[in-house]
A = this chain, B = another copy of it.
Amino acid sequence: LPITSAAQTKQTIETHQGQYMRYSKEHRANTHAKIVTAAATHFREKGIEGVGVASLMQTLGLTHGGFYAHFESKECLTEEALNTAFDQTLKRFKDYASQAIPGHKLRRLVDIYLSNEHRNDPGLGCFAAANASEITRQSEKIRQSVSKRLADFLDLIEDLANQDNINVDSRALLSMMTGGLLLSRIMTDDRHASEFLQATSNAINQLIKY
């Protein structure tokens, strides 16, 4: 991954107060965003505790010392990364489900969530499923952030259900989806893994077949 150096993106602008800025605001914000995006992926792949600050920065061609110019602590990064991850995934799920005709939108969501692709690529998937038990032991602050985004997920489910004119409990549906995905990921052989996905998917279809 060739990373543009600080020198390349450096720009000079003058603030209205007459103070000097050697680097443009965009440069700083870009680096910040790159760190968050990388963390969002790596946290989902290797767990939050499984990704060190140093190795994360190295991934971006940076050194660990610079991390604290962007974040107060790893926990602050975690909060931003989790929000970015949910942004990505919820948007992707929403776009995907929206393509289906009414009556099939929710089913589309379930299909992508309980797909082998989602199972095998946690880095771009549901943050809650990827780190479920770890989140359980995170700080109140982090758990609240996740709760908030899970509420967004529930809203999406309910919105889709409304469009489909289907009556389901969004919480029960989300429980099934995350549980099915998680158990599928625990399974070592592909057959049992797919069986969990399929069984859960079937049960949901039975539930939302109104």
Contact = CB atoms under 8 A, between A and B. Distances in A.
Interface of A: 46-47, 49-50, 122, 128-137, 140, 143-144, 146-147, 150, 169, 171-180, 182-183, 185-189, 192, 195-196, 199-200, 202-204, 206-207
A42 to B, nearest CB: 12
Given A134-B133, A188-B140, A207-B207, A175 B169 contact: no
B183 A171 contact: yes
Contact of A150 (B173, B177, B183, B204): B183
Contacts of A171: 180, 183, 195-196, 199-200
A46 B199 CA distance: 31
Contacts of A140: 188
Contact of A188 (B133, B147, B182, B203): B147
A50 B147 contact: no
Contact of A199 (B169, B185, B195, B203): B169
